Structure 1
Amino acid sequence: MLLFSILTAAIAPGVALLTYLYLKDRYDSEPIHLVLKLFLTGMLIVVPIMVIQRGIELFLGSHPLLFSFGLSGGVEEVVKWFVLYHIIYNHTEFDEPYDGIVYAASISLGFATIENILYAVYFPSTFTTLMLRALLPVSGHALFGIMMGYYFGKAKFAPRRSARRLLAVSLLLPVGLHGLYDWIITSEISEIAWGIVPFMAFLWIWGLVKIGRANARSPFRIVGREEGVKL
């Protein structure tokens, strides 16, 4: 019974955040089965990511900056981006900019959920600990996914020359933000570690702005207006 409670507390934040982002799609919601597929894919990529991280660590060591921007931010975001691109970029259901946010967040939160489950099972976890993880690592992955998905969605509907630049931003921005997050939270200097609070607040504000802008670019928003005029 205790294990069930711990697992529920570990899974709930990722599911809740994904539900929130899914419901923020104001004009053309994505198929549930496709969102779940990407969420489960995010869970499955944990194993190859861990293998890659271990290989790099054995070869190059684990310097704090290498860990933050390479092993954690770099490897995790590159693999998520690679999977996202090959599964969804040319999919017919990817038909508005906000879809990029939904799909990227699905993969990110699937990964974060497995990460949270592993932490809860292998380390003594209290309700307070799991709540802190919901506010920091899990929501962090959601926010990195929002940034990735926002520029992914812009790239999808941009001219080819601009699309390449936006795709690069959709990869490099989450890598940088994820690396900075890990560098702050693992710092042994308390003044730096406490910086995670304003950093996360800034990311949430920025993320909500991106959500609004992505919805505003939906072609279905214009169609809805035209139909409203006809009525």
Structure 2
Amino acid sequence: MFILISAGIAPGLALLSYFYLRNQMSTEPRRTLLHTFIYGAIITFPIMFIQYVSEEEGTFSNPFLSDVIFASSIEEFFKWFVIFVAILRHVEFDDPYDGILYGAAVSLGFASVENVLYLLSFGIDTAFLRAILPVSSHALFGVVMGYYFGKSKFSKDNKQLEYLILAFLAPVLLHLSYNTILTLKGHLIYLMLPFMLFLWWFGLRKVKQAHRHLVQHLYENNKI
């Protein structure tokens, strides 16, 4: 069991470390990141409970509504809610790149618990594929979410509300696309490869943009 749990958590911690080390201008407190990761892990259980009740009650007669639209929306909403309530106004959310880190942390906390539960049910043989697909995709959904949270907090163009909405809608649309591809049959499932390449390109583009915003923010505040 220890091996399964380690295999389930390791990809999430590795990806979070990657985005943490990408920030060369300032160092975010590790304790706050760990707390955010734990928040993401905790929300796994109410999400699973809501999904279970919805399935048992037959809330959605169409599997696409249940497995794609509802699942994507509720997962991203809980992540968004955690950052909005617990992190956005935190004193240590003090530069635009922090959004990337906190978005990735809450998403990877959720993805890690989900991954552990999946591996406990289906075995370690699926660990590599899950690290490449579900775990990394959640990380990138979180990166995009966090980017727009950073824009909302530090933007000076009076579009704070617009960016807050994009912090929810952008990852939901990406998650919807990911889940939709998973439902495809036959050769259409191979659309996952170009989608993941796009997702990595898009996520890393947001990382670079956040880093530029960070440099500008430090310059304007006479910190560099």
- For the superposition of Structure 1 and Structure 2, which TM-score range results when normalised by the shorter chain? over 0.9
Aligned length, in residue pairs: 222
Cα deviation for residue 221 of structure 1 reads: 4.5
1:216 to 209, 212, 217: 212
Matched, 1:190 2:186: yes
Residues 65 and 41 of structure 1: CA distance in aligned 2, closer, same or farther (over 3 Å): same
Q: TM (normalized to structure 2)? A: 0.92
Per the alignment, residue 73 of structure 1 pairs with 72
What is the SS of the residue equivalent to 1:96? coil
Q: TM (normalized to structure 1)? A: 0.90
Give deviations 1:40-87, integer Å, cap 9, x for gaps: 111111111112222333242352321344332100000110011001
Contact conserved, 2:4 with 2:123, CA < 8 A, in 1? no
Give deviations 1:161-204, integer Å, cap 9, x for gaps: 401011101101111111110110122x2232110110000110
Residues 72 and 21 of structure 1: CA distance in aligned 2, closer, same or farther (over 3 Å): same
Contact conserved, 1:68 with 1:179, CA < 8 A, in 2? no
Per the alignment, residue 102 of structure 2 pairs with 103
Per the alignment, residue 124 of structure 2 pairs with 125
Which consecutive unaligned segments of at least 5 residues does structure 1 have?
Answer: none
What is the SS of the residue equivalent to 2:193? helix
What is the SS of the residue equivalent to 1:141? helix
Per the alignment, residue 28 of structure 2 pairs with 30
Contact conserved, 2:145 with 2:167, CA < 8 A, in 1? yes
Per the alignment, residue 17 of structure 2 pairs with 19
Cα deviation for residue 159 of structure 1 reads: 4.1
2:37 to 36, 39, 42: 39
Contact conserved, 2:7 with 2:124, CA < 8 A, in 1? no
Over the aligned positions, Cα root-mean-square deviation in angstroms equals: 1.9
Per the alignment, residue 156 of structure 1 pairs with 153
1:178 to 158, 172, 175: 175
User: For 1:128-147, what aligned pairs fall within 5 Å after superposition?
Assistant: 129-147=126-144
Which consecutive unaligned segments of at least 5 residues does structure 2 have?
Answer: none
The percentage of aligned residue pairs carrying the same residue is 43
